[in-house]
Amino acid sequence: MSTTTLQPHQKELFGHPIGLFVLFFTEMWERFSYYGMRAILVIYMIAMASDKNGPGLGWSEVEALKLYGWYVMLVYVVSIPGGILADKILGQKKAVMLGASILVAGHGILAIEATWAFFTGLGLIILGVGCLKPNISTMVGGLYQKGDIRRDKGFSIFYIGINLGSLLATSLIGLVVAKWGWHAGFGMAGVAMLLGLLVYVWGQKYIAHVGNKPTKESLKEDISIGQLFADLLKSPLQLGIVAVLLGLSLYAGFTFEGVDHWGYGALFIFLSLVTGMMMMIYKNLDSQILKDRFIVLLLSFLIVIVFWGAFEQAGGLMSIYTETKTDRMLFGYEIPTPMFQGLNAGFILLFAVAVANFWAKRKLKGKEASSLFKMAVGTIIMGLGFVFMVFAVNDYEAHGKSAMIWLVLAYLFHTIGELSSSPVSLSFITKLAPAKYASLMMGVYFAATGLGGKVAGILGENSKALGEYTIFAGITIFTILFGVLVIAILKPLKRLTHGAEDDEHEIHDETEGFELADN
Protein backbone atom coordinates (compact mmCIF):
# COMPACT_ATOMS: atom_id res chain seq x y z
CA MET A 1 0.00 0.00 0.00
CA SER A 2 1.11 3.62 -0.50
CA THR A 3 3.06 5.13 2.36
CA THR A 4 3.28 8.71 1.02
CA THR A 5 0.34 10.15 3.04
CA LEU A 6 0.64 8.02 6.14
CA GLN A 7 2.12 8.83 9.52
CA PRO A 8 5.53 7.19 10.19
CA HIS A 9 4.01 4.60 12.52
CA GLN A 10 1.50 3.59 9.84
CA LYS A 11 4.05 2.89 7.11
CA GLU A 12 4.97 -0.64 6.08
CA LEU A 13 8.07 -2.44 4.84
CA PHE A 14 7.85 -5.88 3.21
CA GLY A 15 4.17 -6.05 4.22
CA HIS A 16 4.78 -5.33 7.91
CA PRO A 17 4.83 -2.15 10.02
CA ILE A 18 8.23 -0.43 9.93
CA GLY A 19 8.09 -0.44 13.72
CA LEU A 20 8.62 -4.21 13.58
CA PHE A 21 12.07 -3.68 12.08
CA VAL A 22 12.97 -1.04 14.67
CA LEU A 23 12.17 -3.57 17.37
CA PHE A 24 13.90 -6.27 15.29
CA PHE A 25 17.27 -4.47 15.33
CA THR A 26 16.91 -3.30 18.93
CA GLU A 27 16.34 -6.88 20.03
CA MET A 28 19.04 -8.17 17.70
CA TRP A 29 21.72 -6.11 19.46
CA GLU A 30 20.28 -6.85 22.89
CA ARG A 31 20.44 -10.57 22.17
CA PHE A 32 23.96 -10.12 20.75
CA SER A 33 24.99 -8.76 24.14
CA TYR A 34 23.11 -11.43 26.10
CA TYR A 35 24.16 -14.50 24.11
CA GLY A 36 27.69 -13.22 23.66
CA MET A 37 28.08 -12.97 27.43
CA ARG A 38 26.20 -16.25 28.03
CA ALA A 39 28.49 -18.11 25.60
CA ILE A 40 31.55 -17.45 27.76
CA LEU A 41 29.99 -17.15 31.24
CA VAL A 42 30.30 -20.76 32.43
CA ILE A 43 33.67 -21.47 30.83
CA TYR A 44 34.99 -18.18 32.30
CA MET A 45 33.86 -19.29 35.76
CA ILE A 46 35.65 -22.67 35.50
CA ALA A 47 38.77 -21.22 33.85
CA MET A 48 41.82 -21.18 36.12
CA ALA A 49 44.13 -18.23 36.80
CA SER A 50 46.60 -19.66 34.29
CA ASP A 51 44.05 -20.02 31.48
CA LYS A 52 45.26 -19.11 27.99
CA ASN A 53 42.51 -16.46 27.70
CA GLY A 54 43.52 -14.77 30.95
CA PRO A 55 42.60 -15.50 34.56
CA GLY A 56 39.16 -16.96 35.14
CA LEU A 57 37.38 -17.45 38.45
CA GLY A 58 38.66 -21.00 38.97
CA TRP A 59 35.32 -22.37 40.19
CA SER A 60 34.30 -26.02 40.08
CA GLU A 61 31.84 -27.16 37.41
CA VAL A 62 29.11 -27.64 40.03
CA GLU A 63 29.59 -24.10 41.39
CA ALA A 64 29.56 -22.63 37.88
CA LEU A 65 26.41 -24.49 36.83
CA LYS A 66 24.71 -23.52 40.08
CA LEU A 67 25.31 -19.80 39.46
CA TYR A 68 24.37 -20.26 35.80
CA GLY A 69 21.00 -21.71 36.85
CA TRP A 70 20.28 -18.85 39.26
CA TYR A 71 21.39 -16.24 36.72
CA VAL A 72 19.29 -17.58 33.84
CA MET A 73 16.29 -17.86 36.15
CA LEU A 74 16.59 -14.35 37.59
CA VAL A 75 17.29 -12.70 34.26
CA TYR A 76 13.81 -13.80 33.16
CA VAL A 77 11.90 -13.90 36.48
CA VAL A 78 12.52 -10.17 36.89
CA SER A 79 10.36 -9.84 33.77
CA ILE A 80 7.33 -10.01 36.07
CA PRO A 81 8.10 -6.75 37.94
CA GLY A 82 9.32 -5.39 34.61
CA GLY A 83 5.91 -6.08 33.09
CA ILE A 84 4.11 -4.57 36.08
CA LEU A 85 6.29 -1.46 35.86
CA ALA A 86 5.27 -1.02 32.22
CA ASP A 87 1.57 -1.81 32.76
CA LYS A 88 1.13 0.48 35.75
CA ILE A 89 3.64 3.32 35.45
CA LEU A 90 5.93 3.74 32.45
CA GLY A 91 4.32 1.98 29.52
CA GLN A 92 6.20 -0.60 27.46
CA LYS A 93 8.06 1.96 25.35
CA LYS A 94 9.76 3.75 28.26
CA ALA A 95 10.35 0.46 30.11
CA VAL A 96 12.33 -0.83 27.11
CA MET A 97 14.35 2.41 27.06
CA LEU A 98 15.12 2.04 30.77
CA GLY A 99 16.06 -1.61 30.40
CA ALA A 100 18.38 -0.93 27.47
CA SER A 101 20.15 1.83 29.41
CA ILE A 102 20.67 -0.42 32.45
CA LEU A 103 22.01 -3.18 30.17
CA VAL A 104 24.59 -0.85 28.66
CA ALA A 105 25.80 -0.07 32.18
CA GLY A 106 25.75 -3.74 33.25
CA HIS A 107 27.76 -5.05 30.33
CA GLY A 108 30.19 -2.15 30.61
CA ILE A 109 30.87 -2.91 34.30
CA LEU A 110 31.26 -6.62 33.51
CA ALA A 111 34.23 -5.69 31.31
CA ILE A 112 36.12 -4.52 34.41
CA GLU A 113 38.48 -7.19 35.72
CA ALA A 114 37.34 -7.36 39.36
CA THR A 115 35.16 -9.66 41.45
CA TRP A 116 32.82 -6.84 42.51
CA ALA A 117 32.37 -5.89 38.83
CA PHE A 118 31.45 -9.48 37.90
CA PHE A 119 28.58 -9.69 40.38
CA THR A 120 27.49 -6.05 39.92
CA GLY A 121 27.42 -6.47 36.16
CA LEU A 122 25.34 -9.65 36.39
CA GLY A 123 22.91 -7.89 38.74
CA LEU A 124 22.42 -4.96 36.37
CA ILE A 125 21.96 -7.30 33.40
CA ILE A 126 19.25 -9.14 35.34
CA LEU A 127 17.43 -5.84 36.00
CA GLY A 128 17.90 -4.60 32.44
CA VAL A 129 16.61 -7.74 30.74
CA GLY A 130 13.66 -7.77 33.17
CA CYS A 131 12.63 -4.30 31.98
CA LEU A 132 13.31 -4.83 28.29
CA LYS A 133 12.49 -8.42 27.35
CA PRO A 134 8.76 -8.78 28.16
CA ASN A 135 7.87 -5.30 27.03
CA ILE A 136 9.55 -5.30 23.63
CA SER A 137 7.79 -8.59 22.85
CA THR A 138 4.46 -7.11 23.92
CA MET A 139 5.09 -4.15 21.62
CA VAL A 140 5.59 -6.52 18.67
CA GLY A 141 2.13 -7.96 19.33
CA GLY A 142 0.74 -4.42 19.68
CA LEU A 143 1.81 -3.52 16.14
CA TYR A 144 -0.96 -5.76 14.76
CA GLN A 145 -4.70 -5.52 15.18
CA LYS A 146 -6.81 -8.26 16.67
CA GLY A 147 -7.27 -11.13 14.20
CA ASP A 148 -4.40 -10.10 11.91
CA ILE A 149 -2.79 -13.29 10.59
CA ARG A 150 0.46 -11.36 10.06
CA ARG A 151 1.05 -11.40 13.81
CA ASP A 152 2.59 -14.91 13.76
CA LYS A 153 4.72 -13.92 10.76
CA GLY A 154 5.76 -10.76 12.57
CA PHE A 155 6.90 -12.73 15.58
CA SER A 156 8.82 -15.10 13.31
CA ILE A 157 10.64 -12.13 11.74
CA PHE A 158 11.31 -10.75 15.21
CA TYR A 159 12.61 -14.17 16.21
CA ILE A 160 15.05 -14.12 13.31
CA GLY A 161 16.42 -10.87 14.73
CA ILE A 162 16.96 -12.57 18.08
CA ASN A 163 18.92 -15.36 16.48
CA LEU A 164 20.85 -13.16 14.08
CA GLY A 165 22.16 -11.36 17.15
CA SER A 166 22.98 -14.69 18.77
CA LEU A 167 24.80 -15.96 15.67
CA LEU A 168 26.89 -12.82 15.31
CA ALA A 169 27.79 -12.87 19.00
CA THR A 170 28.76 -16.53 19.24
CA SER A 171 30.71 -16.34 15.98
CA LEU A 172 32.79 -13.37 17.15
CA ILE A 173 33.01 -13.66 20.92
CA GLY A 174 35.30 -16.70 20.92
CA LEU A 175 37.74 -14.98 18.54
CA VAL A 176 37.75 -11.80 20.64
CA VAL A 177 38.34 -13.76 23.86
CA ALA A 178 41.13 -15.80 22.25
CA LYS A 179 42.96 -12.65 21.14
CA TRP A 180 42.27 -10.15 23.93
CA GLY A 181 40.91 -12.16 26.88
CA TRP A 182 37.66 -12.73 28.75
CA HIS A 183 36.89 -9.13 29.66
CA ALA A 184 37.31 -7.92 26.09
CA GLY A 185 34.49 -10.37 25.25
CA PHE A 186 32.32 -8.93 27.99
CA GLY A 187 33.12 -5.42 26.74
CA MET A 188 32.10 -6.30 23.20
CA ALA A 189 28.68 -7.27 24.55
CA GLY A 190 28.37 -3.77 26.06
CA VAL A 191 29.16 -2.08 22.73
CA ALA A 192 26.47 -4.19 21.03
CA MET A 193 23.88 -3.16 23.61
CA LEU A 194 24.75 0.49 23.08
CA LEU A 195 24.05 0.03 19.36
CA GLY A 196 20.66 -1.48 20.24
CA LEU A 197 19.81 1.52 22.42
CA LEU A 198 20.75 3.95 19.64
CA VAL A 199 18.57 2.09 17.12
CA TYR A 200 15.63 2.21 19.54
CA VAL A 201 16.02 5.95 20.17
CA TRP A 202 16.22 6.62 16.43
CA GLY A 203 13.09 4.61 15.62
CA GLN A 204 10.69 6.14 18.15
CA LYS A 205 8.53 7.77 15.47
CA TYR A 206 7.76 4.35 13.95
CA ILE A 207 6.39 2.93 17.23
CA ALA A 208 4.53 6.04 18.39
CA HIS A 209 1.20 4.20 18.67
CA VAL A 210 2.28 1.26 20.85
CA GLY A 211 3.59 0.84 24.38
CA ASN A 212 2.57 4.28 25.60
CA LYS A 213 2.23 5.27 29.25
CA PRO A 214 -1.06 4.04 30.76
CA THR A 215 -3.71 6.74 31.12
CA LYS A 216 -5.49 7.60 34.36
CA GLU A 217 -8.70 6.27 32.84
CA SER A 218 -7.17 2.90 31.99
CA LEU A 219 -5.63 2.62 35.45
CA LYS A 220 -9.00 3.36 37.05
CA GLU A 221 -10.55 0.51 35.09
CA ASP A 222 -7.65 -1.79 35.94
CA ILE A 223 -7.15 -3.78 39.10
CA SER A 224 -3.93 -3.03 40.96
CA ILE A 225 -1.59 -5.77 42.15
CA GLY A 226 -2.20 -4.55 45.69
CA GLN A 227 -5.94 -4.96 45.18
CA LEU A 228 -5.40 -8.49 43.91
CA PHE A 229 -3.64 -9.44 47.13
CA ALA A 230 -6.24 -7.58 49.20
CA ASP A 231 -8.92 -9.70 47.50
CA LEU A 232 -6.84 -12.78 48.27
CA LEU A 233 -7.26 -12.10 51.98
CA LYS A 234 -11.03 -12.31 51.52
CA SER A 235 -10.92 -15.85 50.12
CA PRO A 236 -10.25 -18.41 52.88
CA LEU A 237 -9.50 -21.26 50.45
CA GLN A 238 -7.09 -19.34 48.27
CA LEU A 239 -5.49 -17.66 51.27
CA GLY A 240 -5.01 -21.10 52.82
CA ILE A 241 -3.31 -22.40 49.68
CA VAL A 242 -0.88 -19.48 49.61
CA ALA A 243 -0.25 -19.78 53.38
CA VAL A 244 0.69 -23.45 52.98
CA LEU A 245 3.02 -22.60 50.09
CA LEU A 246 4.67 -19.84 52.13
CA GLY A 247 5.11 -22.24 55.04
CA LEU A 248 6.82 -24.75 52.76
CA SER A 249 9.04 -21.94 51.44
CA LEU A 250 10.28 -21.09 54.93
CA TYR A 251 10.79 -24.79 55.62
CA ALA A 252 12.91 -25.00 52.47
CA GLY A 253 15.04 -22.10 53.66
CA PHE A 254 15.91 -23.93 56.86
CA THR A 255 16.34 -27.42 55.41
CA PHE A 256 17.97 -27.12 51.95
CA GLU A 257 21.67 -27.81 52.02
CA GLY A 258 24.31 -25.57 50.53
CA VAL A 259 25.03 -21.86 50.47
CA ASP A 260 21.97 -21.12 48.35
CA HIS A 261 19.38 -22.70 50.67
CA TRP A 262 17.81 -19.32 51.39
CA GLY A 263 17.85 -18.66 47.67
CA TYR A 264 15.48 -21.59 47.28
CA GLY A 265 13.42 -20.29 50.18
CA ALA A 266 13.09 -16.89 48.48
CA LEU A 267 12.28 -18.59 45.16
CA PHE A 268 9.46 -20.59 46.73
CA ILE A 269 8.10 -17.48 48.47
CA PHE A 270 8.10 -15.72 45.10
CA LEU A 271 6.32 -18.63 43.43
CA SER A 272 3.77 -18.69 46.24
CA LEU A 273 2.96 -15.02 45.73
CA VAL A 274 2.76 -15.45 41.96
CA THR A 275 0.36 -18.37 42.49
CA GLY A 276 -1.83 -16.17 44.65
CA MET A 277 -1.73 -13.38 42.09
CA MET A 278 -2.69 -15.76 39.26
CA MET A 279 -5.64 -17.08 41.30
CA MET A 280 -6.93 -13.58 41.92
CA ILE A 281 -6.49 -12.50 38.29
CA TYR A 282 -8.56 -15.54 37.30
CA LYS A 283 -11.22 -14.63 39.86
CA ASN A 284 -11.45 -11.03 38.63
CA LEU A 285 -11.81 -11.82 34.94
CA ASP A 286 -15.30 -10.76 33.88
CA SER A 287 -16.25 -13.54 31.45
CA GLN A 288 -16.01 -17.33 31.29
CA ILE A 289 -14.27 -17.09 27.92
CA LEU A 290 -11.44 -15.05 29.43
CA LYS A 291 -11.23 -17.45 32.38
CA ASP A 292 -11.00 -20.49 30.12
CA ARG A 293 -8.32 -18.87 27.99
CA PHE A 294 -6.43 -17.91 31.14
CA ILE A 295 -6.33 -21.57 32.24
CA VAL A 296 -4.87 -22.60 28.87
CA LEU A 297 -2.36 -19.75 29.16
CA LEU A 298 -1.17 -21.05 32.54
CA LEU A 299 -0.85 -24.58 31.16
CA SER A 300 1.20 -23.27 28.24
CA PHE A 301 3.65 -21.83 30.79
CA LEU A 302 4.24 -25.39 32.02
CA ILE A 303 5.21 -26.40 28.47
CA VAL A 304 7.59 -23.43 28.41
CA ILE A 305 9.31 -24.56 31.65
CA VAL A 306 9.81 -28.09 30.34
CA PHE A 307 11.08 -26.91 26.96
CA TRP A 308 13.62 -24.43 28.31
CA GLY A 309 14.63 -26.69 31.19
CA ALA A 310 16.05 -28.99 28.52
CA PHE A 311 17.08 -26.40 25.94
CA GLU A 312 19.15 -24.24 28.33
CA GLN A 313 21.64 -27.06 28.74
CA ALA A 314 23.28 -25.34 25.75
CA GLY A 315 24.78 -22.62 27.92
CA GLY A 316 25.51 -24.91 30.87
CA LEU A 317 26.27 -28.63 30.74
CA MET A 318 26.62 -28.78 26.95
CA SER A 319 28.99 -25.81 27.02
CA ILE A 320 31.23 -27.52 29.59
CA TYR A 321 31.00 -30.78 27.64
CA THR A 322 32.08 -28.95 24.48
CA GLU A 323 35.01 -27.31 26.28
CA THR A 324 36.32 -30.37 28.11
CA LYS A 325 35.28 -33.53 26.25
CA THR A 326 34.79 -32.68 22.57
CA ASP A 327 37.43 -32.94 19.86
CA ARG A 328 37.19 -29.42 18.41
CA MET A 329 40.06 -29.68 15.94
CA LEU A 330 39.14 -28.95 12.31
CA PHE A 331 41.84 -28.74 9.61
CA GLY A 332 44.45 -28.08 12.30
CA TYR A 333 42.43 -25.29 13.96
CA GLU A 334 40.72 -25.62 17.33
CA ILE A 335 37.20 -24.19 17.10
CA PRO A 336 36.38 -21.95 20.13
CA THR A 337 33.68 -23.39 22.37
CA PRO A 338 31.30 -20.36 22.05
CA MET A 339 31.03 -20.96 18.30
CA PHE A 340 29.16 -24.21 18.91
CA GLN A 341 26.37 -22.29 20.61
CA GLY A 342 26.16 -20.30 17.38
CA LEU A 343 25.00 -23.47 15.60
CA ASN A 344 21.54 -22.93 17.06
CA ALA A 345 21.27 -19.41 15.69
CA GLY A 346 22.77 -20.42 12.35
CA PHE A 347 20.31 -23.26 11.92
CA ILE A 348 17.45 -20.92 12.78
CA LEU A 349 18.43 -18.55 9.99
CA LEU A 350 18.71 -21.49 7.60
CA PHE A 351 15.47 -23.26 8.51
CA ALA A 352 13.14 -20.58 9.94
CA VAL A 353 11.33 -19.97 6.66
CA ALA A 354 11.10 -23.68 5.83
CA VAL A 355 9.62 -24.57 9.22
CA ALA A 356 7.18 -21.64 9.08
CA ASN A 357 6.09 -22.65 5.58
CA PHE A 358 5.62 -26.26 6.69
CA TRP A 359 3.21 -25.22 9.42
CA ALA A 360 1.44 -22.72 7.14
CA LYS A 361 0.85 -25.35 4.44
CA ARG A 362 -0.33 -27.81 7.06
CA LYS A 363 -2.87 -25.27 8.30
CA LEU A 364 -4.09 -24.51 4.76
CA LYS A 365 -4.68 -28.24 4.23
CA GLY A 366 -6.92 -28.28 7.30
CA LYS A 367 -4.51 -30.38 9.38
CA GLU A 368 -3.73 -29.77 13.03
CA ALA A 369 -1.49 -26.69 13.32
CA SER A 370 -2.61 -24.96 16.50
CA SER A 371 -0.09 -23.20 18.72
CA LEU A 372 -0.40 -25.83 21.45
CA PHE A 373 0.23 -28.62 18.93
CA LYS A 374 3.31 -26.84 17.58
CA MET A 375 4.63 -26.30 21.12
CA ALA A 376 4.17 -29.99 21.97
CA VAL A 377 5.78 -31.20 18.73
CA GLY A 378 8.61 -28.72 19.21
CA THR A 379 9.26 -30.10 22.69
CA ILE A 380 9.41 -33.66 21.34
CA ILE A 381 11.79 -32.76 18.50
CA MET A 382 14.03 -30.77 20.82
CA GLY A 383 14.11 -33.71 23.26
CA LEU A 384 15.19 -36.05 20.47
CA GLY A 385 18.28 -33.90 20.03
CA PHE A 386 19.60 -35.21 23.34
CA VAL A 387 19.80 -38.69 21.82
CA PHE A 388 22.91 -37.42 20.05
CA MET A 389 24.35 -36.22 23.36
CA VAL A 390 23.91 -39.79 24.60
CA PHE A 391 25.92 -40.92 21.56
CA ALA A 392 28.52 -38.26 22.40
CA VAL A 393 28.92 -39.65 25.92
CA ASN A 394 29.37 -43.17 24.52
CA ASP A 395 31.93 -41.84 22.03
CA TYR A 396 33.88 -40.10 24.82
CA GLU A 397 33.90 -43.20 27.00
CA ALA A 398 35.17 -45.31 24.09
CA HIS A 399 37.80 -42.94 22.66
CA GLY A 400 38.57 -40.29 25.30
CA LYS A 401 37.08 -37.54 23.07
CA SER A 402 33.69 -37.22 21.37
CA ALA A 403 33.24 -36.15 17.76
CA MET A 404 31.82 -32.73 16.89
CA ILE A 405 29.12 -34.27 14.70
CA TRP A 406 27.09 -35.25 17.77
CA LEU A 407 26.93 -31.65 18.92
CA VAL A 408 26.01 -30.46 15.44
CA LEU A 409 23.12 -32.94 15.21
CA ALA A 410 21.95 -32.16 18.75
CA TYR A 411 21.81 -28.42 17.99
CA LEU A 412 20.03 -29.13 14.69
CA PHE A 413 17.19 -30.97 16.43
CA HIS A 414 17.08 -28.39 19.21
CA THR A 415 16.71 -25.69 16.57
CA ILE A 416 13.89 -27.39 14.65
CA GLY A 417 12.10 -27.90 17.96
CA GLU A 418 12.65 -24.30 18.95
CA LEU A 419 11.35 -22.98 15.61
CA SER A 420 8.18 -25.02 16.04
CA SER A 421 7.61 -23.92 19.62
CA SER A 422 9.15 -20.67 20.77
CA PRO A 423 8.00 -17.99 18.25
CA VAL A 424 4.51 -19.49 18.38
CA SER A 425 4.36 -19.36 22.17
CA LEU A 426 5.16 -15.63 22.15
CA SER A 427 2.34 -14.96 19.70
CA PHE A 428 0.00 -17.33 21.57
CA ILE A 429 0.31 -15.27 24.75
CA THR A 430 -0.68 -12.05 22.98
CA LYS A 431 -3.78 -13.86 21.68
CA LEU A 432 -4.91 -15.32 25.01
CA ALA A 433 -3.76 -12.82 27.63
CA PRO A 434 -6.41 -10.45 29.04
CA ALA A 435 -5.57 -7.06 27.51
CA LYS A 436 -5.11 -5.22 30.80
CA TYR A 437 -2.61 -7.84 31.97
CA ALA A 438 -0.76 -8.14 28.65
CA SER A 439 2.71 -7.12 29.84
CA LEU A 440 2.30 -8.94 33.15
CA MET A 441 1.47 -12.19 31.34
CA MET A 442 4.41 -11.69 29.00
CA GLY A 443 6.49 -11.24 32.15
CA VAL A 444 5.12 -14.49 33.57
CA TYR A 445 6.01 -16.20 30.27
CA PHE A 446 9.61 -15.08 30.58
CA ALA A 447 9.61 -16.03 34.27
CA ALA A 448 8.57 -19.53 33.15
CA THR A 449 11.49 -19.43 30.72
CA GLY A 450 13.71 -18.47 33.65
CA LEU A 451 12.40 -21.30 35.79
CA GLY A 452 13.30 -23.59 32.90
CA GLY A 453 16.81 -22.15 33.09
CA LYS A 454 16.95 -22.96 36.80
CA VAL A 455 15.82 -26.52 36.06
CA ALA A 456 18.63 -26.72 33.50
CA GLY A 457 21.11 -25.59 36.12
CA ILE A 458 19.89 -28.16 38.64
CA LEU A 459 20.18 -30.94 36.07
CA GLY A 460 23.68 -29.79 35.21
CA GLU A 461 24.69 -29.69 38.89
CA ASN A 462 23.59 -33.33 39.26
CA SER A 463 25.55 -34.53 36.25
CA LYS A 464 28.54 -35.22 38.49
CA ALA A 465 26.51 -37.48 40.77
CA LEU A 466 24.19 -39.09 38.20
CA GLY A 467 26.45 -39.03 35.17
CA GLU A 468 25.99 -37.20 31.88
CA TYR A 469 24.56 -40.31 30.21
CA THR A 470 21.72 -40.43 32.75
CA ILE A 471 21.00 -36.70 32.46
CA PHE A 472 20.89 -36.64 28.66
CA ALA A 473 18.89 -39.88 28.37
CA GLY A 474 16.48 -38.72 31.08
CA ILE A 475 15.84 -35.42 29.31
CA THR A 476 15.10 -37.30 26.07
CA ILE A 477 12.57 -39.66 27.67
CA PHE A 478 10.81 -37.01 29.75
CA THR A 479 10.41 -34.42 26.99
CA ILE A 480 9.00 -36.98 24.55
CA LEU A 481 6.49 -38.33 27.07
CA PHE A 482 5.49 -34.81 28.10
CA GLY A 483 4.93 -33.71 24.49
CA VAL A 484 2.82 -36.79 23.77
CA LEU A 485 0.70 -36.06 26.86
CA VAL A 486 -0.02 -32.50 25.67
CA ILE A 487 -1.08 -33.83 22.25
CA ALA A 488 -3.35 -36.36 23.96
CA ILE A 489 -5.31 -33.60 25.74
CA LEU A 490 -5.15 -31.15 22.84
CA LYS A 491 -8.85 -31.18 21.95
CA PRO A 492 -10.20 -30.09 25.36
CA LEU A 493 -7.47 -27.46 25.59
CA LYS A 494 -8.41 -26.03 22.19
CA ARG A 495 -12.06 -25.84 23.24
CA LEU A 496 -11.01 -23.70 26.20
CA THR A 497 -9.35 -21.17 23.86
CA HIS A 498 -12.81 -20.40 22.36
CA GLY A 499 -11.47 -19.91 18.85
CA ALA A 500 -8.74 -17.40 19.74
CA GLU A 501 -6.78 -18.57 16.70
CA ASP A 502 -9.75 -18.87 14.32
CA ASP A 503 -10.66 -16.47 11.53
CA GLU A 504 -7.24 -14.86 11.28
CA HIS A 505 -6.69 -12.78 8.15
CA GLU A 506 -4.40 -10.07 6.88
CA ILE A 507 -5.09 -6.53 8.12
CA HIS A 508 -3.02 -3.58 6.86
CA ASP A 509 -4.86 -0.68 8.50
CA GLU A 510 -2.77 0.19 11.56
CA THR A 511 -4.79 2.12 14.12
CA GLU A 512 -4.22 3.19 17.67
CA GLY A 513 -5.84 1.96 20.81
CA PHE A 514 -6.62 -1.64 19.88
CA GLU A 515 -6.55 -4.50 22.35
CA LEU A 516 -3.91 -7.21 22.53
CA ALA A 517 -6.45 -9.93 23.14
CA ASP A 518 -10.15 -10.53 22.73
CA ASN A 519 -12.39 -9.33 25.51
User: What confidence tens digit (pLDDT) does each residue in 496-508 have?
Assistant: 887 776 655 444 4
- Residue 196 in contact with residue 29, Cβ under 8 Å? yes
7 lies in some domain: no
- Return the pLDDT at 30: 92
From the CB of residue 94, how many other CB atoms can be counted at a distance below 10 Å? 17
Q: Tens digit of pLDDT for each residue in 252-301?
A: 656 666 556 667 777 777 777 777 778 777 777 788 888 888 888 888 88
Round to whole Å and give the CA distance between 164 and 195. 15
- DSSP annotation of 96 reads H
68 lies in some domain: yes
Round to whole Å and give the CA distance between 140 and 160. 13
In 100-236, at which residue ranges do the beta strands (DSSP E only) sit?
A: none
- Residue 393 in contact with residue 384, Cβ under 8 Å? no
Question: What is the mean predicted confidence (pLDDT) over 36-65?
Answer: 79
Share of the chain above pLDDT 70, in %: 82
Specify the length of the chain in residues.
519
- Return the pLDDT at 516: 35
Share of the chain above pLDDT 90, in %: 19
- Return the pLDDT at 505: 46
Round to whole Å and give the CA distance between 48 and 178. 15
Round to whole Å and give the CA distance between 438 and 430. 7
Q: Tens digit of pLDDT for each residue in 406-452?
A: 999 999 999 999 988 877 787 787 788 877 777 677 778 878 888 88
519 lies in some domain: no
Q: Which domain holds residue 480?
A: 19-496
- Return the pLDDT at 405: 93
Question: What is the mean predicted confidence (pLDDT) over 77-94?
Answer: 82
* Start-to-end CA span in the chain (Å): 30
- Residue 7 in contact with residue 141, Cβ under 8 Å? no
- Return the pLDDT at 198: 94
324 lies in some domain: yes
Residue 500 φ then ψ, to 5°: -60, -25
503 lies in some domain: no
- Return the pLDDT at 509: 45
**Mean pLDDT score of the chain, rounded to an integer?**
80
pTM of the model: 0.76
From the CB of residue 477, how many other CB atoms can be counted at a distance below 10 Å? 11
- Residue 301 in contact with residue 292, Cβ under 8 Å? no
pLDDT: which is higher, 490 or 1: 490
Which range, 32-36, 39-43, 386-390, has the best average confidence (pLDDT)? 386-390
**468-488 vs 438-461: helix crossing angle, rounded to 10:** 150
Q: 286, exposed or middle or buried, with CB in 10 Å at 0-12, 13-18, 19+?
A: exposed
Q: Tens digit of pLDDT for each residue in 212-264?
A: 777 666 555 555 555 555 665 566 666 676 677 667 666 665 666 655 666 77
What is the number of structural domains in the chain? Answer: 1
Q: Tens digit of pLDDT for each residue in 374-409?
A: 999 999 999 999 999 999 999 999 888 899 999 999
- Return the pLDDT at 199: 92
404 lies in some domain: yes
505 lies in some domain: no
- Return the pLDDT at 43: 84
- Return the pLDDT at 394: 93
CATH number at 185 reads 1.20.1250.20
305 lies in some domain: yes
